[in-house]
Homo-oligomer: A and B are copies of this chain.
Amino acid sequence: MNAPSTDLPIGVFDSGIGGLTVLRALRAAMPRESFVYLGDTARLPYGTKSADTVRRYALRAASHLVERGIKALVVACNTATAAALPQLVEAFAPLPVHGVISPGADAASAASIGGVVAVLATEGTVRERAYHGALLHRGVHRVFARPAPLLVTLAEEGRAQGALVQHVVRDYLEGISGDQAFDTLLLGCTHFPVFRSVCAEVLGAEVAIVDSASTTASAVAAVTPRCLGDRAHTHFLATDGGDRFRRVGSFFLGETIPEVEIVDL
């Protein structure tokens, strides 16, 4: 197989709309590139499902993007990265396949001064201990991870502010590390950057808050052959609920989503 054409779009996929936070960073880092984004909204959330099922769903979603023609694949979902990255890399080689766990660990280890990192993630990401190895490998001393499934539901509802959100965030952050203070909070689910300001209110200024979006974008930008054209566009696909995707997704992306094509996987 030859190297894919540099004119092809970059494929990005997530269980739903959380990956749009990564797409946003990718577009900012590579403004001349085109993207095709697939949200597997008919099967979300991935975070509460078994690794086998997530792997099956991820392979199906990725195959669809590969068949459309892409020059690289970004798995913009921590749960899918944790459960399926090696399988995706192998299934689509030599296509470059990027996950969000390593970039997230890079961001957290760079931000952490004391080497104690707390991770809010999905049940699946926590169960796979995806961030533990990656963070310890980068010199972090202690990692505390907690599943926060209600935040996925709140995010998919488009609720990122208010008393209830604050209560939920406080509930998850309290006692996450027992008596030990952590100096960095890693938002280990691509849905969670929308809760950054609430987390900051709860934790105060001494705790750094990081996510995978910008470090993933930098990592992808560093190795992706650039498009030389000037017709960058983004095509949005979802497996269910186009109106809902447009409505809530626009909030995640930070701009209006004009159109969503529904695909049946």
A5 CB within 8 Å of chain B = no
A225 CB within 8 Å of chain B = no
Chain B proximity mask over A204-224: 1 for CB below 8 Å, otherwise 0: 000000000000000000000
A261 CB within 8 Å of chain B = no
Check B153–A157 contact: CB distance below 8 A: no
Check B164–A153 contact: CB distance below 8 A: no
Check A154–B164 contact: CB distance below 8 A: no
A28 CB within 8 Å of chain B = no
Interface size class of A (residues with CB under 8 A): 20 to 34
Closest B residue to A156 using CB positions: B48
Check B157–A240 contact: CB distance below 8 A: no
Check A164–B168 contact: CB distance below 8 A: yes
CA distance A43 to B241 in the complex (A): 15
Closest B residue to A164 using CB positions: B171
Q: Which 10 A-B pairs have the closest CB atoms?
A: A153-B153, A164-B171, A53-B240, A167-B167, A50-B241, A42-B53, A50-B240, A49-B240, A150-B153, A149-B153
A residues near B (Cβ < 8 Å) are: 41-44, 48-50, 52-53, 149-150, 152-154, 156-157, 163-164, 167-168, 171, 240-241, 244
